[in-house]
Amino acid sequence: MEKHVEIGKTGLQVAPIGFGANTIGAHNLFQNIDEDVSRETLRVALAEGVDFFDSAFMYGLGRSEELIGEVLAETGRRSDVVLATKAAHVVTGSNVTLDNAPTFLTESVDKALKRLETDYIDLFYIHFPDGVTPPDEAVGALQRLKEAGKIRAIGLSNFSMDALKLANKDGYVDVVQDKYSLVYPGLEEDMIPYCVEQGISFIPYTPLASGLLTGKFAASNPPQDFRKERPHFQGQTYIDITAKVDSLQNLANQHSTSIANIVLATTITINGVDVVIPGAKSPEQVRANMKTLQVTLTHEEVMQVRALFK
């Protein structure tokens, strides 16, 4: 596998395995978050060669960004990494709304810069469309921030095809991030081909389908947390998928790696995908994810894996 790739046409060079920081300091999203463990996980990520960190305001209401900024300042590694973050949420007590207004996005970038302890953000996403602000106006605000040097690339996350096309009216969109994995490949029909056509890099989140594609779940013992409400974790669908995942063990053994690494290595081969951002909430998970860089699959092996889930 290539050791470094460019994210689309942004000029940003990264290892193809990044770090999804949605569990770092995210007390609002997960229980039992230990910030000391989060800090050590970030330090180990840097030591293991991670150079692309993907955060968001909504991950801990800014706390994920703060911890990343703290560790980068402590280690002096800011110039060695590419930082991505996102904004759109307005949280007032228990009330959460979305905002894409130019003034809001401008303020969000300035606040994120302070939390990350940096004077530029490599990639800034609109986290969700607000359904009110014209998408091209929202992206236009980010383009002005790009021209001012506060951000280096413009991203959109969780936008529909129609909203994406409106947002990219002037060709300013550099990166699109959306939910994608081998078990829900629907975006291969429209969004990913559009990104390829437009020179936009597509970055999938949940590439391991919330753990379903790691091989750690047995058909007879599905997870009992939030995942049990999701369609792929229910009934015969869950049983069928776990059987397919288990069947990858022989291939994983041949490459002296894990099923998760086989899945990540396969996902990276998809046209339009330059980098994947599996999450990690412990040093052990970071080390496991980064072992994907040692996996090189043949075209036939990639087709074999992909055919399983078609």
Cβ proximity of 169 and 149 under 8 Å: no
CA dihedral sign, ordered 245, 249, 255, 261: positive
Structure tokens at 160: 């529909």
Cα separation, 33 vs 17, in Å, equals: 23
Using alpha carbons, select from 126, 135, 134 the residue that is nearest to residue 156: 126
Cα separation, 60 vs 57, in Å, equals: 7
- Straight-line distance from the first to the last Cα atom of the chain, in angstroms, rounded to the nearest whole number: 24
Q: State the catalytic residue, choosing from 59, 125, 180, 238.
A: 59
Q: Which residues have a Cβ under 8 Å from the Cβ of 70 and sit 6 or more positions away?
A: 39, 117
The reply to whether 59 belongs to the active site is yes
Structure tokens at 187: 């975006």
* Residues forming the active site: 59
